[in-house]
Structure formats: C-alpha cells, structure tokens
Amino acid sequence: MPKKLIEVALPLKEINKEASREKSIRHGHPSTLHLWWARRPLATARAVLFASLVDDPGEYLPEEEAHRERERLFKLLERLVNWDNVKDPDKAKVVEEAQYEIARSLARAFKEEPPSSPKDTERIRALLEKAPPVLDPFAGGGTIPLEAQRLGLKAYASDLNPVAVLINKALIEIPPLFADQPPVNPSYRAKAQPTDRFPRAKGLAEDVRYYGKLLLEKAREKIGHLYPTLEGKTVIAWLWARTVPCPNPACPAARHGEHPGAPLLASLWLSQKKGKEVYLLPEKDESGRLHFSVETGGEPPLERTIGRRGGVCLVCGSPITLDHVRREGQAGRMGAILVAVVVEEEEGREYWPSKHEHEVIALSVQPHFAPEVELPRKALGFRIQEYGMKKWRQLFTSRQLLALGTFSNLVNEVREVCYRDALAAGLPDDPTPLTERGRGARAYAEAVGVYLGLAVSRLADYSSALCSWHNSRDTLRNTFARQALPMVWDFAEANPFSDSTGNFGNMLEWVALALEALPANPQGHARQGNATESVNGLVQAPLICTDPPYYDNVPYADLSDFFYIWLRKTLQSIYPDLFRTLLTPKAEELVADPYRYGGREEAKRHFEEGMRRVFQNLRAKAHPDYPLTLYYAFKQQEEDGHEGESALTSTGWETFLQALVDSGFQITATWPMRTELGNRPRGQGSNALASSIVLVCRPRPQDAPTITRDEFRRILRRELSWALKELTRSSIPPVDLAQSAIGPGMAVFSRHRAVREPDGRALSVREALALINQALDEFLAEEEAEMDPLTRFALSWYQQYGYQEGPYGDAETLAKAKNIPVAALEEAGILRAKAGRVKLLRPEDYPRDWAPEEGSEVSVWRVAHQLIRALKEEGEGAATRILAGVAPHLADSSRALAYRLFQIAERQGHAEDAQDFNLLAESYSRLAEDAARRRPAVQEGLF
C-alpha cells in the first residue's frame, strides 16, 4: 500500500492558521446554515481528505525530487485551505487543481493514463468516479462529507441524530438535485433573461429568499400586532428579569401573587460600550413595588442581584440563596418582569424603561402550539431542570411559542405557493417526493420548505427565554452560546419582525448565503443510522474520515431536541421517517452519560463497547488502500500515579484509544489541528483545548511484534522527544501539548501486538498514557536543565510558591544550590526581597520599554516575562521588538520556558498564569519570524 501524503508530511502551520481564521468567518459560510456543536473547520477536513487521497511523492520519486514535489503540493494545500479561494469556484481554480492531483494518484493506482492538466476535466471526472467513496459514520454538522463533495468525490453521511441528518441532506443531498436551475418565483420570471446563469444552488437560494420573505409578511399579518412599537420606533428586544418570592416573610416581595417578587438580575448594566454606558436604577414605591429607570453616567448601585453564590432582594436587602431560588422554581413560583426595552435608532441602540402596556401584551398571549414533551430529568450540560423547567415549552415565553408556531405553520402554506409557481415555471408535475430524490415541482417546493424550516429552527435559537443581552456588544446572545443549557436569570426576547439582532430576515439570509456557497456536485447521500449500520449497508469499501463523539463532552441528542421539536413540526410531512419519534433517539447514542446509563462505570462501558464495535466494523469494511482518519479532542484531566510518579490521563482518551487498539488498528501519523477559536465562550478564562488531534490509522499487521515495557519506554523516549521538538518549534499552544503528545506516543504503542510487563501481563492503554505523560515531563525537564542558573532558580521557586511570597531562608538555600546569591537575582530584576520575604515579579511588574544592555547577562526568565507583559499590554509589535534585541538562543529558550511553566501552572491550579504562558508559546512563531526580519544582517567572513 503506497503511503499517502498525510502519513508523511503536511504544511501544518498554514493549515492551522486558516482553520483558526475560519472560525471567525460568518457570512456565506456553510457552518451558518444551522447550528451544530463542536463542528470542525472546513479547511481542516479539506486538507485531511486531500492528503489522504494523494500519494506521498517518496513512493514514486527519488528523495531529492520527492522533497521538491512535496513542497509543490504544500503550496497547493496552502491555497486550498483558504476559504476565500474556494467559496466561489467560478473565480478560484484551486479546487480544480486539487482534483487534478487526486486524479493523478488514482491513475497510478489503476495504472491508467493520467490527466494531462487541470483543464483535462473529462479525464479527471472519469478518474474521480473510480475514487473510493468517502464515508463519515458520525457526520454531525456535515463538514467532512461537504468537503469530500467539494473535492469531486462521492460523499456519504450517516448519523443517528435526525437533526444532523437533515443538516447533511441540506448540505450535500438536496442542492445537486436542483443544481444550475433558475429560480421559479414570479418576480424573477417577470424579468428573466436568456443569458441568466445560476450556477450550483444559486437559483434555489434565490427562491428561498423570495418565499422566505413571503412567509415573513404572512406572519406579520397574523401576529405583528403583538410586537408593538415604542413612540413610533421599532423595538429590537424586550429585556426581562426572572423573579422569586423573597425568603423574608416580612418583605412585600414575599407575597406571591400580590407582588411580582424579587428580581434576579445577573447584571444591572444594559450597555457597557465605552462612552455609551447605560444601566438600570431600581426604585421602590410605597407599596414595596420596584420600578427601573434607565440611567447614563455613573454606575449602578450594585453589580447584580444574583450570582453563583446566591443573591439579594432589592426590596428589603435580605440574602437569597440558590437553594431558595431552586425551591421556588420547583414549586412553580418563578415569574418574570419586564425591566427595559431596546429600540433601534439611527445612531445605534437606545434603552427605554419598561412599558406596562408592553408587559400586558406579552403576558396575555395564548400560543396555539406548545411542545409538551419532557426535558431529560438530568443530562450533561443541563442546569435548568433544577429551577422547575421540566418541559421543553417552559424554555420559551408564550409570545415566543406563538411566533415559532406561526412561522412553522406558514412554511407548509408557502410551500404550496412555491409548488404552483414551479409548475408555472415549467418544472414537471412529478409526484416523486424529495425523500426519493424527485426533481419535479413537488420535490422542488419541498426543498424550498426544508431551507425555510432551517431558518425557523435558527430563529428558535434566538427566540427562547434562555437568550441574554450581550451588554458589551449591544446585541442578543443566542440560546447556545455554548454547548449546554444553563440557567439564564435576565433574558432578552427578540422581535422577529425588526431589522436588527435576532430577526427572521437575518436567519433567512444566513441560510440563503450558505446555500449559495455549496458545491452542489456530485450527488451526495445522507441517511439516518448508527455508525455500525452505516458501514454495513450504505456503501462498499469507503475511505473513512470521521469525527467521533468525545466521550462525555457533548450531549448531542439531548441538546438537539431543542431544535428537533420545531423541525419535526415544520418538516415531518416532508421527512416522515426522519421525524417519526417525539424526540431524538437516545439509547444507541455513543456518549458516556452517567445520568442515562446508571453511573460512570456503566457509561464508560457503553461508550467503550460501542466504539469497539464501530472500529471493528470499520477495519473490516474500509478500503484497504487508504488510511482511516479520526479527529479527537478530549482534554486529559485525571490524576493517575504509577511507580511513584504523577501523570495525567483521561478516561475519554483511554476509552477511545483502547477501543481503537483492540480493534486491530495502528496509528501511523498524528497531526494537531487548530479547530477552535480562542475567544469562544468556553475558551475565555479557561485552558480549554484549541486543537483536535487527527489520528491516521492503518490495520495493524498480523505479524506485529511484541515488546517489553522497558523497550517501549526506550523507543518512546527517542521518538517522542523528536516529535515534541517538532511540535514546540511549530508553537503548538502549551494547552494542547500534552494532548498532542498522545499521538506519537500511541503510534509506538499501537504498532506492536502487545507491550508486556515482566510478569507477562499486557500493558493497558491507560498505563501507556501514563508513560507517555512521564516522557513528556522528562522532555520538558531536559529543556529546563539547559537554561541559565537564574532561570532554574526561578522555576524551582515558582513550583513551590508561584508568584506568592516565601521565606528569605528558603530562597537563600535554593540559591546556594544553584550557585548564585539572592542579591544577583534581585539585580537581575526577577524578584524582590524585603523584610525576610521573597517574591517573584509577575509579568505586569516588569518595566515598559525594556531592552537588554550591551554585554549584560540576561536570563531566559526575564526575557519570557518581558515578552508576556508586552503581549498583554501592547501587542505583538512590542513583543517583536524585544525578541529582535536578544540573542537567538535566549529567544528560543523563552519558548521552552513557557511550555514548562504552563505545565507547572496548570497542575497547581494557577489558571491565570497558565493563560499567560500559553499566550507566549502560541505567539512565538509569529514573533520570531517578525524579529528575524528586524535584526540587522550579519556579514560573515569566508574563512
């Protein structure tokens, strides 16, 4: 089997740069068609698929030529992963070039004539027809099947979750059925020209816009009066605060039914935009009722009335515990009051006090549909049940339920209008439905209905009582700002008929723009089924690339019920089999949810056994000539001791890898891919993973050798040390280093039939992970040993005291061991000694405008801390100036120090420090490149 490019080399830095950037691209990006959790970047999937199909040049060229050919392929990959280059195939030819390279490798495999150039489209198309079909058995948000289709490959998507299946159908199955067709709406037909062209799904997207606007106008006629203006101005959102009776029986707010209760506000700020600060000022009348005025200038009298540790009653000042709030919620005594209204102004947002008549209208609405199905009693990431929310309808206000029900019903009404227009436009009156890949007027109208249903589902994300007001950006924060359903105290109710945040018109345009950017060729296939079934029945000998579920990280089925209840109401008539159950299937889902399976051990067993069955099936059914590629991102988190040492392991990784190894796979390559945006909510204030590890796997040979534990450790130290040097040179964030070390470590472990203990027992994956982490510790300790004495002192001190004070005697003892006086450490500017106490300086304590003096001895510690201060306070330009002014060996050592310090800080719980060290290591490559350009060229002699 010839090695593929992905098994040898990749331009990782360029791929990761684009993958990270892509997370901030919104308009027209396929990910905006509909929300799905933990979605991988398209750039990463595109690169992985391309490199899995293209032969490594070393398989057919001498090494020197192979190196040049790899560099050429790398240049192509760098252009291929850039979204700007592929979003419009009419302008960018890079996709054609990629298909040409894939076809050349296929020609070698089949010993056929290769295409003459990227313009030899007929030959390329004929060879791509022979390519293995790409299957993703855990298709989720559809990233992998979509990028397979973009590369001209047959794409098959399978998922147990019907919401995921619908998303995949909308991405890869429906658009090719109506590719290159003009719109059918009468507005277009009235002005149609013979020269008009609607490539891919642009015609379909235009009809989605037209019929979506028709739907919006019909909805406005029905329920627009329930969204009143304020003095002639359109309301963007109504801001509400939940209330509970005060626990103080003497307080007026304790009288449930007579008084609205104590308001629970997570913040009294309405806007914190600089120079435009606005806040709520609570005022109490004689009866003890609260009213809120809207103020500018100054600050609110208190930051909040509720937090993680409880709250306070604004009426009487009594403390309110969270237990009290939960009890009142469970008893049905949690209410809500309107506290402010946001209106649209030419200059931006304007905040008004609440209006009684607006509150009366909102509370008097009677919805005609309310999803009465139960929420899970307990589920990963769910907190709302503790506060009395037991049914899905309780996540919405009455007005939101009416609006979503109205929009949902109108989809079917508008579909019939589209059907009649499609007949008038000349589409055949073919009764074949969309589910059977019909292409007539009926199927076309159903296709338009699917995208309108997705727009309504997107609207639900911005139309629940778990949406909040983002007071630093003056915009609505959607329900799923993160992959959980936590309690939201003060919530924002958007106006779907406004022209601002959270309106239906925006949802419609997001869907249409995403649809326009889809390749719509060749025909894709998406079906519902568990991962084992998809391999058995969907396709023969596929190339498998997939992103399996992450143990207990994301409860997809429970979360997606939020959308399913609306999609089922809207689209059940189009996809009756997909929406046949009241909620999404749960029993077969591969997630280690202790609430669902009766405890942690039972959940672990369910996940491991399920994964083992999947991997065994993949090994038996996958195409033998192509590697299997798996994404995995699960942070190591559990302490585990072995032979007196402490190492971090993870149940998620252990379970996943044990199933992979037991199924007969070996890991042939690993690539840490940037897949998350650093400013995402979960990443802020934490050290959440920013990367996924892409594991490249082949079946392990039957005659694989067995080695001893000592041999494993010897090979591990040698191979892992080389891999870690490459990883740190590429400035992989320290937060991802331990994660990334698993790959090359498990590559050593998995290529052997077994690793034996002296007593003959086989080493488990959990024990192998512990040894891999020990090897990582040893690598970082070796880097430390090469640093200057000042830095080694500071490292040892930091391990013991962090940035806190410690006794002078301890510092003196440690300094003597390093053969340096404490006074030298003070003189070097890295610590302060006073009154018998010693303290390391924090990065912010270091001076601004620092540059090392000519001929002076500078410590790595000083350089690293000056760089962190500059990065945090001034930006990369200032840090680059510092780096350009120090010796290259000091600069490189500061990066190594950042990795070592991050490891120490994270293990000791210094989260803020860990973020500082992560920032330096992650930024280092960019800083070093810029610094190299700043340094003056050195003329070297000939001898």
Q: CA 832 to CA 155: how far, in whole Å?
A: 63
Which stretch, 24-38, 44-58, 522-536, has highest mean pLDDT? 44-58
Q: Are 751 and 661 in contact (CB under 8 A)?
A: no
Residues 145-200: pLDDT tens digits?
999 999 999 999 999 999 999 999 999 999 999 999 999 999 999 999 999 999 99
User: Among 432-446, 453-467, 736-750, 828-842, where is mean pLDDT lowest?
Assistant: 736-750
Using the predicted structure, report yes or no on whether residue 436 has a pLDDT greater than 90.
yes
Using the predicted structure, report yes or no on whether residue 855 has a pLDDT greater than 90.
no
- Between residues 888 and 494, the one the model is more confident about: 494
Give me the mean pLDDT over the 852-880 stretch.
88
The predicted pLDDT at position 637 comes to 44
Which of these, 591, 403, 573, lies nearest to 495 by C-alpha position?
403
Give me the mean pLDDT over the 403-409 stretch.
98
Partners of residue 310 on adjacent β-strands? 307
Q: How confident is the model at residue 640 (pLDDT cuts 50, 70, 90)?
A: very low
The predicted pLDDT at position 723 comes to 85
Q: How confident is the model at residue 236 (pLDDT cuts 50, 70, 90)?
A: very high
CB hemisphere CA count around 921 (13 angstroms): 27
Using the predicted structure, report yes or no on whether residue 684 has a pLDDT greater than 50.
no
Which stretch, 397-406, 588-597, 713-722, has highest mean pLDDT? 397-406
Using the predicted structure, report yes or no on whether residue 642 has a pLDDT greater than 50.
no
Using the predicted structure, report yes or no on whether residue 784 has a pLDDT greater than 90.
no
Q: Are 403 and 502 in contact (CB under 8 A)?
A: no
Q: Mean pLDDT score of the chain, rounded to an integer? A: 90
Q: What percent of the chain has pLDDT above 90?
A: 69
CB hemisphere CA count around 938 (13 angstroms): 5
The predicted pLDDT at position 939 comes to 38
For residue 706, give every residue at least 6 positions away whose Cβ sits within 8 Å of its Cβ, in sequence order, or none.
Answer: 752, 753, 754, 755, 756
Q: CA 537 to CA 803: how far, in whole Å?
A: 60
Token output for 216: 């919006």
DSSP annotation string for 213-253: HHHHHHHHHHHGGGS--BTTBPEEEEEEEEEE--S-TTSGG
- What amino acid is encoded at 173 in this protein? E
Give me the mean pLDDT over the 742-752 stretch.
90
Torsion of CA 411, 414, 419, 422, to 10 degrees: -120
The predicted pLDDT at position 646 comes to 36
Among positive and negative, which fits the CA dihedral 421, 510, 561, 402?
Answer: negative
Radius of gyration over every alpha carbon of the chain, rounded to an integer in angstroms: 30
User: Among 229-243, 625-639, 878-892, 896-910, where is mean pLDDT lowest?
Assistant: 625-639
- Pinpoint the alpha helices (H) of 786-834: 789-801, 808-817, 822-827
Going by the DSSP 8-state scheme, the letter that residue 337 receives in this structure is E
* Reported pTM: 0.87
User: Among 105-109, 183-187, 219-223, 929-933, where is mean pLDDT lowest?
Assistant: 929-933
- Pinpoint the alpha helices (H) of 351-440: 356-364, 398-424
Partners of residue 4 on adjacent β-strands? 55
Q: Are 153 and 147 in contact (CB under 8 A)?
A: no
- Whats the size of the chain, residue-wise? 943
Q: What percent of the chain has pLDDT above 70?
A: 94
User: Among 454-458, 459-463, 733-737, 820-824, where is mean pLDDT lowest?
Assistant: 733-737
Using the predicted structure, report yes or no on whether residue 813 has a pLDDT greater than 80.
yes
Using the predicted structure, report yes or no on whether residue 434 has a pLDDT greater than 70.
yes
Using the predicted structure, report yes or no on whether residue 345 has a pLDDT greater than 90.
no
The predicted pLDDT at position 743 comes to 83
Token output for 485: 């359903």
Beta carbons within 10 angstroms of residue 612's beta carbon: 17
Burial class (CB in 10 A: 0-12, 13-18, 19+), 672: buried
Using the predicted structure, report yes or no on whether residue 645 has a pLDDT greater than 70.
no
Q: How confident is the model at residue 739 (pLDDT cuts 50, 70, 90)?
A: confident
Q: CA 130 to CA 473: how far, in whole Å?
A: 51
Question: Alpha carbon 104 to chain centroid distance?
Answer: 34
Q: Are 740 and 693 in contact (CB under 8 A)?
A: yes
Cis status, amide bond into 733, omega within 30 of 0: no
Residues 42-75: pLDDT tens digits?
999 999 999 999 999 999 999 899 999 999 999 9
Using the predicted structure, report yes or no on whether residue 935 has a pLDDT greater than 80.
no
Q: Give the orientation angle of helix 651-662 with respect to helix 734-750, to 10 degrees.
A: 20
Q: Are 701 and 749 in contact (CB under 8 A)?
A: no
Q: Are 931 and 891 in contact (CB under 8 A)?
A: yes
Measure CA of the first residue to CA of the last residue in the chain; give whole Å: 49
Q: Which helix (H) or strand (E) holds 617?
A: helix 600-621
Token output for 479: 């329900």
Place of tokens 């630093």: 472
Cα angle 903, 846, 892 (rounded to 5 degrees) comes to 50
Q: State the pairing for strand pair 628-632/638-642.
A: unpaired
Residues 349-371: pLDDT tens digits?
899 999 999 999 999 999 999 99
Q: How confident is the model at residue 690 (pLDDT cuts 50, 70, 90)?
A: very low
For residue 63, give every residue at least 6 positions away whose Cβ sits within 8 Å of its Cβ, in sequence order, or none.
Answer: none
DSSP annotation string for 429-492: -----GGGT--SHHHHHHHHHHHHHHHHHHHHHTSSTT-EEETTTTEEEPTTSSSSB---SEEE
User: Among 124-128, 359-363, 679-683, where is mean pLDDT lowest?
Assistant: 679-683
The predicted pLDDT at position 360 comes to 96
Using the predicted structure, report yes or no on whether residue 647 has a pLDDT greater than 90.
no
Which of these, 746, 772, 767, lies nearest to 630 by C-alpha position?
746
- Between residues 615 and 733, the one the model is more confident about: 615
Give me the mean pLDDT over the 871-877 stretch.
92
Token output for 523: 């025909």
The predicted pLDDT at position 685 comes to 35
- Pinpoint the alpha helices (H) of 295-424: 322-330, 356-364, 398-424
Q: CA 59 to CA 5: how far, in whole Å?
A: 10
Output the 3-class SS for 750-763: HCCCEEECCCCCEC
Residue 789 has φ and ψ, to the nearest 5°, of: -60, -35
Q: How confident is the model at residue 691 (pLDDT cuts 50, 70, 90)?
A: low
The predicted pLDDT at position 634 comes to 59
Q: Which helix (H) or strand (E) holds 857?
A: none
Give me the mean pLDDT over the 98-117 stretch.
96
Give me the mean pLDDT over the 588-593 stretch.
88
Q: CA 175 to CA 443: how far, in whole Å?
A: 12
Q: State the pairing for strand pair 754-756/706-708.
A: parallel
Using DSSP's 3-state secondary structure scheme, residue 696 falls into strand
- Between residues 531 and 36, the one the model is more confident about: 36
Place of tokens 């090494």: 63
Q: Are 724 and 741 in contact (CB under 8 A)?
A: yes
Q: Are 408 and 456 in contact (CB under 8 A)?
A: yes
Using the predicted structure, report yes or no on whether residue 36 has a pLDDT greater than 80.
yes
Give me the mean pLDDT over the 585-612 stretch.
89
Going by the DSSP 8-state scheme, the letter that residue 887 receives in this structure is -
Using DSSP's 3-state secondary structure scheme, residue 138 falls into coil
Beta carbons within 10 angstroms of residue 153's beta carbon: 23
Going by the DSSP 8-state scheme, the letter that residue 937 receives in this structure is P
Q: How confident is the model at residue 737 (pLDDT cuts 50, 70, 90)?
A: confident
